[in-house]
Structure 1
Amino acid sequence: MSNYHQHDGTFKIGGDIEIKRLGYGGMQLTGPGVWGEAPDRENAKNVLRAALKAGVNFIDTADSYGPHTNETLIADALHPYPLDLLIATKGGFERTGPNQWRVNGHPDHIRQAIDGSLKRLKKEVIDLWQLHRVDSRYPVEETLGPVVDAVKAGKIRYVGLSEVDVEQVKRAEKTVPIVSVQNLYNLGNRQWESVLDYTAERGLAFIPWYPLASGPDKLKSKISGIAEKHHATTAQIALAWLLKRSPNILLIPGTSSLTHLEENMQGGNIALSDEDFAALS
């Protein structure tokens, strides 16, 4: 696949924007329940800057993180942005309080979400805009209408989806080209194997959210044995397994800790053997 560059650990979004496969997810840089500002805003900005210094050039956020505070934080910390930095954001949720998420796929809401993200991120173009959830109250074609308009207007470069099955991806693709899918997926939760395989076949990026989960207790002893062998942590092995699972997987582990950030980045350097991978799989 022309999008895969396994030798240097990169992937081309849309066959065009080359990014490193180990990125950073901004969700944890908010208050409790993904609500409000980061408790220590200066530390949060330092974490974002440290991620870039460590080589990250792919950051994932959403208008619903905060809501809105995460996008503003990223702009405050990193703008003017390095030319090679891809910031992906998402829209399609309304927030009414901590840990409360209400899907809203109404075209008016989507239109406002796109324009709001552009403003908060201080961007003229969003390189990757993702529909955070499909809203069953509206045909996806209707929800994606403003997205198509934004692509035509040059406000959005590429479009992705989140938490979708294969049929939903295929249906959306009839309205607008899709370059990525962001679904729950990790060592312990592989319910979306079919979607991962579909994206790999099509050369689309697959972005697991909650990538650090190491799964059920029955896996713990296997992981700890492999972790010891590699002088690594369980979290690092969980990341290494994902990177080996498929070359179209892009990782966005999030943290508000500089120490954990460094640990996650080192997880990208662990090369699991085929035997290690098979034991975990």
Structure 2
Amino acid sequence: MTDEHTAPGGLLPLGDGPAVSRLGYGAMQLPGPGAWGPPEDPAAARAVLRRAVELGVTHIDTSDFYGPHVANDLIREALHPYPEELVIATKVGVVRDEWRGWSPAATPAELRDQVEENLSRLGRAHLDLVYLRVGGDGLLFPDDTPFAESFATLAELQKRGLIRHLGLSGVTVAQLAEARELGAVAAVQNRFHLLDRGDPGVLAACEEHRIAFVPYFPLAAGLLRPGLDTSQAPPGMAPTPEQERTLDDVAGRHGASRAQVMLAWLLARSPVTLAIPGTSSVAHLEENVAAAGLRLDEDDVARLDGLA
């Protein structure tokens, strides 16, 4: 049984539900490149999942559109029957198209189908946490389906017992408020990392209402790895030399890696933050989980706060 002392980063409740490890694991990198197709080494992917649980991770983030189906299949193969304390979060509202793109699919019928597919692939009678992927934070997936209609569909599935907790991904402050009129929101997954703070109002609203805030791409999609070619990064995403120097200075003072500092900063940034770094490597997983033990001081946090 995982407790406050063994869970990486401690525990944070999901609404009125279970408490999960503040440092979790994101399954997007388990499939092949671009979250498409099977991994080159499925056994290695399953080993990453098993090692995450061994290290005390009780929060795994996935979606049936990773692969598609591949991430969920690997999770079931590696971890079923699931540990009692393990919370698996998934996302709906998007499907993969024949060109490997990401297409909105948030009508009531589409959402019901996606929930059923997640249940089947994961081998669950219910889903612990389901995010409605919206895209209102300015990235991906704009959809013509009325937001309230989509969220109300998931709220109805929750009443039927197919979903325990509801979440939102890629939302604005206004959308979060609208959703809370329709049902309890346990978690929000929005764009947020060291170089890009997304909409800080969403984080503030989550703090006010004690809603878990789960940044996606917590490691800036790997853009701060030393030696990585960032020439093709989106505007404003690639680190400047000054940003890299600051990050390396903080990391050096703690004998840590850049990734560990970025994750420790996310956990220090707000008491409602959950981090879900993804990797297909056991070594990188262990490095990421170790970041939960890194304690940044006030000066470190202030310097890192100034990087965005």
The answer to whether the 8 Å contact 1:35/1:97 transfers is no
Deviation by residue 1:81-137 (Cα, 9 ceiling, x = unmatched): 000000001111111146510111111110000111011111111110111225531
* SS of residue matched to 1:252: coil
- d(CA) in 2 for partners of 1:216, 1:223: 10
Q: Using the TM superposition, name which of 100-109 and 7-16 deviates more.
A: 7-16
How does the TM-score come out when normalised to structure 2? Answer: 0.87
Amino acid at match of 1:53: E
* SS of residue matched to 1:65: coil
Deviation by residue 1:206-235 (Cα, 9 ceiling, x = unmatched): 000110124622311111011011000011
**Match of residue 184 from structure 1:** 191
The answer to whether the 8 Å contact 2:49/2:79 transfers is yes
- d(CA) in 2 for partners of 1:228, 1:8: 21
How many Å apart are 1:16 and its aligned residue? 2.3
**Match of residue 280 from structure 2:** 256
**Match of residue 64 from structure 2:** 63
How does the TM-score come out when normalised to structure 1? Answer: 0.95
Amino acid at match of 2:49: L
How many Å apart are 1:15 and its aligned residue? 2.8
- d(CA) in 2 for partners of 1:231, 1:167: 42
- d(CA) in 2 for partners of 1:108, 1:73: 26
How many Å apart are 1:152 and its aligned residue? 0.9
Q: Using the TM superposition, name which of 29-38 and 201-210 deviates more.
A: 29-38
* SS of residue matched to 1:263: helix
**Match of residue 110 from structure 1:** 111
Deviation by residue 1:239-279 (Cα, 9 ceiling, x = unmatched): 01100000100010000001100110111110000011001
- d(CA) in 2 for partners of 1:216, 1:8: 26
Q: Structure 1 unaligned runs (5+)?
A: none
**Match of residue 168 from structure 2:** 161
Q: What is the percent sequence identity of the aligned residues?
A: 41
The answer to whether the 8 Å contact 2:22/2:273 transfers is yes
- d(CA) in 2 for partners of 1:237, 1:208: 15
Determine whether 1:211 maps to 2:218.
yes
Amino acid at match of 1:110: L
Equivalent position to 1:237, from 261, 264, 282: 261
- d(CA) in 1 for partners of 2:78, 2:299: 42
User: RMSD between aligned alpha carbons?
Assistant: 1.8
Amino acid at match of 2:32: G
- d(CA) in 1 for partners of 2:99, 2:74: 18
Determine whether 1:196 maps to 2:203.
yes
Q: How many residues align?
A: 278
**Match of residue 138 from structure 2:** none
Q: Structure 2 unaligned runs (5+)?
A: 136-141, 225-237
Determine whether 1:43 maps to 2:67.
no
The answer to whether the 8 Å contact 2:168/2:187 transfers is yes
